[in-house]
Amino acid sequence: MEESMINLALVGLGEIMVAVGVISDLIAALGMLRFPNFFVRLHAATVGTIWGAFLPLVGASLIAAGSEFLGQYRWFMSGGAIVTAILILILAPAGSHALARAAYRSKSAEVRPKSVDHLREFLKKEGGEESA
Amino acid sequence: MKGWKHVIAITSLVVSTSVLALATAIGGLGYILPTPGVRDLAYWYLVTVLSPSNKLFTAMSPEAVTSIVWDYRGLDTLFETSVFFLAIIGSIALMRGIKIVPERLRNYSSGMSPIVKTVTRITAGMIIAVAASIALHGHLTPGGGFQGGATAAVAPLLLMVVFSIYFIIKSGITEERMLALRTAGLVGIVFTAFSACIIAASLGTQAYVFQNQPKSTAAVGLPASIMGSLTSGTLIFFNLFEFFAVAAGFTIVFLLLSIPENIVKQALRGVESEH
């Protein structure tokens, strides 16, 4: 009885996470289409990777862990989903960081809605050769 | 005007896909499914691949593809590996005498930002681990030596892009060492192919080249399991050596491709002016 309650809670939590992921993916797609320039679109893309890919994968692993009818294999599915989620959590920020850095340094994208640019000030202080 | 081009392109794509789908669905391209007689062949392989009672045909491995590649048609795969080896040798011969300038080796501190470098350090290790598991489980699950080696070669490529080619050279992944590893892998594959013969010769009997399990006509072979875990005789050794050979081969090609063009041109011009 208690075990089935835990399973139900796991599946319910996982389904909520997948639902949040679906909504986040929709928002991210809208942002990619409607946002004006590179850096703001990158923000929308990272919403899609963390809230729209990492969170649903954790949810999928919870659903698999709570689905007893899958037998022993549910732990393989659950573990695979968790490992993939952690990989995305490590790799996606590094990728978007590299993209943003390259776009900023090569001056190929304008930093448009900005109030302050600490990086520009830092690079000026470091010396001209770094920002060239 | 630009909008019309988009509309025409999208409409023609949708129409051509629908027409092709409809033609395939109503059998316009003839009977695409193979005749049922072909299915017996697949059935035969799936049934014989792991059947200890069928001593004549079994490869003692649950993975049919690896068994076919390294046991049923092992000689074919040996020559495929040799062709790949010769292709690597050809690319080395093409770029002979062209070295990455050693005086620039000190100046390898370039590359991407510390964030990307740290993440790459973590993921490069993970890539090698996944590649090793693909190769060493090649006789149990889908995968194998070539697939594992190709996956492992991504790690040096990633380091090359994120750190720099000079970092790779300085950390010891040089062309010569990779070629040595590649040659050792191929020698290992040939040695594994003759292993049953060597065992038979030491016992005073005879065996086939590329023999995996003991047959009724040649009663020696490699053990199907070592200490209780299934190793499928020669298959795990073939996968292991192929893993090293393919990983080193791809790394050589990546190293050669990363040599800057001005260095290549300089080397060619140097040869001309000597004469």
What are B91-143's pLDDT values in tens digits?
Answer: 888 888 777 765 555 555 677 888 899 999 999 999 999 999 999 998 898 98
Positions in chain A short of pLDDT 50: 130-132
**Residue B226 φ/ψ, nearest 5 degrees:** -115, 120
Residues of A in contact with B126 (CB under 8 A): 87
What pLDDT shows up at residue B76?
92
What pLDDT shows up at residue B123?
92
DSSP label at residue B247: H
Q: Which two tokens stand for residue B13?
A: 């794509």
Q: How far apart are CA B32 and CA B27, in angstroms?
A: 8
Residue with tokens 């090698």: B128
Residues of B in contact with A90 (CB under 8 A): 119, 122-123
What pLDDT shows up at residue A132?
40
- Flag if B123 and A91 touch (Cβ within 8 Å): yes
Residue with tokens 């050769």: A129
Q: Looking at the complex, does the CB of residue B122 fall below 8 Å from at least one CB of chain A? A: yes
Residues of A in contact with B112 (CB under 8 A): 98, 101
**To the nearest whole angstrom, how far is the Cα of A89 from the nearest Cα of chain B?**
11
pTM (predicted TM-score): 0.79
**To the nearest whole angstrom, how far is the Cα of B161 from the nearest Cα of chain A?**
12
What pLDDT shows up at residue A131?
42
DSSP states of B17-83:
HHHHHHHHHTTTT---SPPHHHHHHHHHHHHHTT-TT-TTT--S-S-HHHHIIIIITHHHHHHHHHH
Domain spans in chain B, listed from the N-terminal domain onward? 1-33, 64-274
Residues of A in contact with B120 (CB under 8 A): 94
What pLDDT shows up at residue B176?
87
What pLDDT shows up at residue A128?
55
Residues of B in contact with A91 (CB under 8 A): 119, 123
CB B113 within 8 A of CB A97: yes
**To the nearest whole angstrom, how far is the Cα of B17 from the nearest Cα of chain A?**
26
- Flag if A91 and B126 touch (Cβ within 8 Å): no
What is the number of CB-based contacts under 8 A between chain A and chain B?
Answer: 21
Residues of B in contact with A94 (CB under 8 A): 115-116, 119-120
This model of the complex carries an ipTM of: 0.76
* Helix then strand then coil, % of chain B, to nearest 5: 65, 0, 30
3-state class (DSSP) for residue B225? strand
What pLDDT shows up at residue A130?
46
**To the nearest whole angstrom, how far is the Cα of B136 from the nearest Cα of chain A?**
19
What pLDDT shows up at residue B32?
65
CA dist A39 to A98, A108, B30, Å? 12, 11, 52
CB B236 within 8 A of CB B60: no
Positions in chain B short of pLDDT 50: none
CA nearest to A83 within chain B: B126
What pLDDT shows up at residue B56?
81
CA nearest to A89 within chain B: B119
What pLDDT shows up at residue B274?
54
CA nearest to B124 within chain A: A91
Residues in chain A whose Cβ is within 8 Å of chain B: 87, 90-91, 93-94, 97-98, 101
Q: Which two tokens stand for residue A86?
A: 């952690």
